[in-house]
Amino acid sequence: MPKKIYILIIICVFLPVSLSPLTLHAEGPELLPLNLNLEDSVCTAFSNNKAIQIQEQEIKYAKAGILYAESKFLPVLGASFDYSLNDAVPTFPGSPNGRKDLGIFSGYKNDNLFSLTLNETVYNGGANIAALRQSKLELKAQEETLRAAKLDIEFETKRLFFGILLAYETKRIAEDLVSQAKAHYDEVKKKFDQGTASRFDVLQSKVQVSRLMPQLVRADNDVRLITAEFKKLLSLDLAEEVKIDGKLDYSLIEIKENEFLAEAYRGNPEMTLRSLGIDIAKWEIEYARAGWLPQVTANGGYTYRSNQIDDMFNPRHNDWTVGVQASIAIFDGFSTKAKVDEARARYNQSKLQKEDLVERIAVDVKDACYNMDEAKTIIDSQKDSIVEAKEALRLSEVRYRSGVGINLDVLDAEVALAEVEQNLAQGIYDYIMARAQLDKVMGRENIKES
């Protein structure tokens, strides 16, 4: 064999082997954090939340209930086959050449019976109509319950989403405050080494740094806790890294309490549920009253009967029947009256629940409007003060470095600036949540599942 062929075989055999470790030891792609904006967060919560999934099954259950109620208006067709061995059967004189075999009226010793039956409810006091109306209203009630659940989830997602942003802002403020305190401590220590600052100022500045550290630790811990709660709401893995894509910002709206209240009465899912509850209870009364009214049914049957199964299906062995049955309860031990009284009590209860909800919605709308107005006032006041607080800190530091001001002025100015920034961030968060609460009360679905 030529030398070139040997070399080619060696290359083909050993080259893949030599390259395979490179493939086995190649590093996988780096896992990137999950970026979520507000809309993505709400949609993820909708998809993964167990309460919403359970309620979606309730809607399917209600749809099946409608089908069941509709089935009561349709005839019931049945087929059966029966065999019996009789010791003796009565006999009747008759010609075997007659139109019908007389055995079909009295049976046979070897009795084979095939039957088709048809039953239809003609009138049952309106119970079937009431049951159908109730089932359709129940479907609407379950759909409104699902909408209410989604509004709750949307509100909770907003609360935690903006809560994380507030926690990050609080952490940033605490980091800046500690950083300023450390920088000032270094400045005071330098002045002490130069003999232009007292030991008291050094100790005071050092204590200030130690006093502020717990705030930073708590702020960092709040970020972790709220993020974990956020992941739990969205049914995400707690070990998965999540990055919030958003900022703590707000947009002002004009407060029109009367218009908000009117929209809440129209769109609040609980208000719709209370109205549906009244209608359902009304039809429950009609369903109960059916016990006092006549019950009318129609039925028909077609049978084949023979002592020999292979000779069953012929004109001599068939028979048919039709009939109508009507009945009315003269006395039922007051059971119908009890059911009617119970249904009327439920009806009155539903009306009272709606009246109570009307008052509660009015309070909720007013409360949300007050909270927005309060948060706006805080935001406006802190926005005006933040520039002044920064300037006060700058001046206190300049005065201290020049030997005119005192150390305590700088420390107070640092804390004052941090308080103003924290009040501003908290005010923005409170305004966002007050508006979210108002949207929830009015039944506004700002974010819908895609």
Q: Cα–Cα–Cα angle for 380, 173, 182, nearest 5°?
A: 135
Biggest CA–CA distance in the chain, Å, is 142
Structure token pair of residue 126: 């309106």
CA pair distance 248, 435, nearest whole angstrom: 14
Tokens of 143: 């759909």
What is the model's pLDDT at position 423?
94
Helix (H) or strand (E) holding 334: none
Specify the pLDDT at position 137. 96
Q: What are the structural domains of the chain?
A: 43-74+135-293+337-442 (1.20.1600.10)
CA distance 399 to 396: 5
What is residue 197's predicted lDDT score, i.e. its pLDDT? 83
Taking the model in full, what pTM does it have?
0.81
Quick one: tokens of 148? 């209410």
Q: What is the DSSP letter of 121?
A: E
How confident is the model at residue 450, as a pLDDT?
57
Q: In angstroms, rounded to a whole number, what is the distance separating the alpha carbons of residues 434 and 389?
A: 27
> In tens digits, what is the pLDDT along the chain, a chain of 450 residues?
444 444 444 444 444 444 343 333 344 455 567 888 999 999 999 999 999 999 999 999 999 999 999 999 999 999 999 999 988 888 766 556 677 888 888 888 899 999 999 999 999 999 999 999 999 999 999 999 999 999 999 999 999 999 999 999 999 999 999 999 999 889 889 888 888 888 998 898 899 899 999 999 999 999 999 999 999 999 988 888 888 888 888 888 999 999 999 999 999 999 999 999 999 999 999 999 999 999 999 999 999 999 888 888 888 899 999 999 999 999 989 999 999 999 999 999 999 999 999 999 999 999 999 999 999 999 999 988 888 999 999 999 888 888 888 988 888 999 999 999 999 999 999 999 999 999 999 999 877 765
Tell me the residue type at 395: L
Residues ≥6 apart with Cβ < 8 Å to 413 = 389, 392, 393, 395, 396, 397
CB-facing half-sphere around the CA of 439: CA atoms within 13 A: 19
CA separation (Å) from 79 to 68, 70, 160, 325? 21, 22, 61, 21
